[in-house]
Structures are given as C-alpha cells and as structure tokens.
Amino acid sequence: MSAAAPMGVHPSEASRSSVAWQIALAGLAVMYVPVYWWAANVIWQTEEHGHGPLILAVIAWLFWTLREPIMKAPYAPAPLAGWPVFIAGLLVYALGRFFNVSIFEFGSQILVVAGGLLLMKGLPALRVAWFAVLYLAFLVPLPGPFVDALTGPLKHWVSVVVQHILFAVGYPIGNTGVILSIGQYQLMVADACSGLNSMFSLTALGTLFMYLTGRKSLLHNAIMLASILPIAFGANIVRVIVLVLITYHLGDEAGQGFLHGAAGIVLMLVAFGIFFLVDWLLLKLLPSRSAELQR
C-alpha cells in the first residue's frame, strides 16, 4: 500500500517535491558534513567551542520538529529573493573552504538554508523556520580579534569583583591585574574564566528557552534578553569564587582537579536558576500578559 499524497496535491507532484527535498538535503550533507567533521576533531575539542555539538543537536531537533509545519506552509516560491540569498551563501561557503576560514564556512549555512527555503517553498516556510535558521549563528566560531578584545577586560573585572567580595567577608585576598593572591596561593584568572564562553552558551540556551516558552509580551522578552549577559557574568563570578575557596581550603591540587570541572557545572546551574527566576518574576509582575498566555 502506498502513502496517499497530501490533499489537493497530485501524487506525481508530491513525488517530485519529495525528490527535490532529498536532493537539497543531500547537497547540504555534501557541503557541511566535512565542516562538522573538522570541527568535531579540532575546535569542538577545546573548552572555548565545546558547546558546538550541543548547539548542532538543538538545531537538528528544531528542524525535525518543524518539518511538518514547513511542508504544510503555502507553496509560494520566491526565486527573486531566494537566488541572491542562496548564491551569496554558496560564495561565502566557497571562500571559507578555499581560505580555511571557519567563520565563513559555518556562517554560510544561514544564507544557504534561508535561500533554499525561499526557492523551494517561499517566504511562508521561512517564517515557520526563522528561529532555527537564525540559531545556526550559534555554530559560528567567535572571531579571534573579538575574543581577544573582550577577554582581557572581562578577566580584569572578574578578578576585581572576586577580590572585593572575598575581602569583604574576611578572606586575606588581594589582586594584581588578573592574579588573585589568597593566603599562600596565587591564582591567575585564565581566558576560560573570563566568562565569555558562559555568556555565549547562556545566550544560546536562553534564547532557546524564550523561543520554546513563547512569551507574548515584548517587554518580558526584552528584559529576558537583556538579562542574559549580566546573569552569565554574575554566574562566572560565583564560579571563580568557588574555585578560589576550594584552593584556599583544600589546596591547589583540589582547585585544579575534578572540582575545577565541577565548578563549571555550578556556573551553569546558577545561571539557569537566575534566568528562570527572572522569567518567573516577570510573569508575576506582568499579570496581564500572563493571563493572555493562559487564554
């Protein structure tokens, strides 16, 4: 028994459409599987980009859950908009592959996927998949100059804030630049402790949370979005404080061992806890919007 074609669609048209989607997906696989394979063996092995596999899994899940809404979207191909976007994506991809620029390779996905949707289904399908398409941006590695420009100031402020907090509660701590001196120990706030990675990760997961909850209030969403970076910075302060206290009370070996990795888990738990708390408080403080959501 063969599967019935969608209502109003001739079986031969449905078959051609299915073949077209299969060709499109095969083309994407040929282009980007090598990029993902390289990332899995190189940049995703580092702490700075270790979130890559998780982001990729989220994107795959998003497109999988949207597959039926995309297929059910009105058929309205937009070649005038689709071809320029798609060709621009191919050019960016080609530049990235030729010059080994991973930012271009990953960034081209946004244009290629958006252009492909416009060509195959049109603007209605792109409206359905807009969040999944934009979420591809979280796979793009942060540019080196951008990371360098932010990491130094962030490390400085982390060390200053941690020193002031611990000194205020009675610990013998001081700081010189990004080096914290507590008791007999000296600890340098490394690049990984600047908080930039946690800001990036929390932004990715925070925006996903906002998309899934679908709050209707623009004010609610604006406050949630604006809170992500301060929350990530504050959570990173907690992480560094935990590491300093572990080193001070349990020794350098404990601070650099298993508990160092566990502090990263503490960071994300604290960040998510605060983020959910902000969402809950906003629901309480904006009751009219909460009631609208429940209707």
178 DSSP β-pair partners = none
- 247: Cβ contacts below 8 Å, ≥ 6 apart: 182, 185, 187, 254, 255, 256
Give domain status of residue 123, yes or no. yes
Domain boundary among 141, 159, 185: 141
Q: Please identify which of the residues 16, 127, 215, 239 carries the catalytic annotation.
A: 239
Residue 28 to residue 11: CA distance in whole angstroms: 26
pLDDT of residue 14: 55
193: annotated active-site residue: yes
Residue 182 to residue 83: CA distance in whole angstroms: 61
Give domain status of residue 36, yes or no. yes
pLDDT of residue 107: 97
For CA atoms 153, 158, 161, 162, give the dihedral sign: negative
Give domain status of residue 5, yes or no. no
- 295: Cβ contacts below 8 Å, ≥ 6 apart: none
Q: What's the one-letter identity of residue 153?
A: P
Indicate the pTM of the whole model.
Answer: 0.84
pLDDT of residue 52: 92
pLDDT of residue 85: 98
Give domain status of residue 4, yes or no. no
> What parts of the chain have a pLDDT lower than 50?
1-8, 289-295
Give domain status of residue 225, yes or no. yes
pLDDT of residue 271: 86
Q: Do 83 and 110 belong together in one domain?
A: yes
Q: Do 136 and 156 belong together in one domain?
A: no
239: annotated active-site residue: yes
Q: Do 73 and 189 belong together in one domain?
A: no
Which residue shows structure tokens 């990332």? 39
Give domain status of residue 194, yes or no. yes
pLDDT of residue 2: 39
Q: Do 70 and 164 belong together in one domain?
A: no
Q: Do 287 and 206 belong together in one domain?
A: yes
Query: Residue 170 phi/psi, 5° resolution?
Result: 105, 5
| Six-digit token string for 136 | 């591809």
Q: Do 202 and 249 belong together in one domain?
A: yes
Q: Please identify which of the residues 16, 67, 97, 193 carries the catalytic annotation.
A: 193
Domain housing 76 = 11-141
Give domain status of residue 2, yes or no. no
Give domain status of residue 26, yes or no. yes
pLDDT of residue 235: 84
Domain boundary among 91, 110, 141: 141
Q: Is 176 helix (H, G, I), strand (E, B) or coil?
A: strand
Q: Do 189 and 68 belong together in one domain?
A: no
Q: Do 116 and 164 belong together in one domain?
A: no
* Number of domains, the chain: 2
Q: Do 77 and 106 belong together in one domain?
A: yes
Q: Do 96 and 174 belong together in one domain?
A: no
Q: Do 273 and 161 belong together in one domain?
A: yes
pLDDT of residue 74: 93
Q: What is the pLDDT of residues 150-179, one digit of tens each?
A: 888 888 899 999 999 999 999 999 988 888
Domain boundary among 124, 141, 158: 141
Q: Do 158 and 40 belong together in one domain?
A: no
pLDDT of residue 291: 46
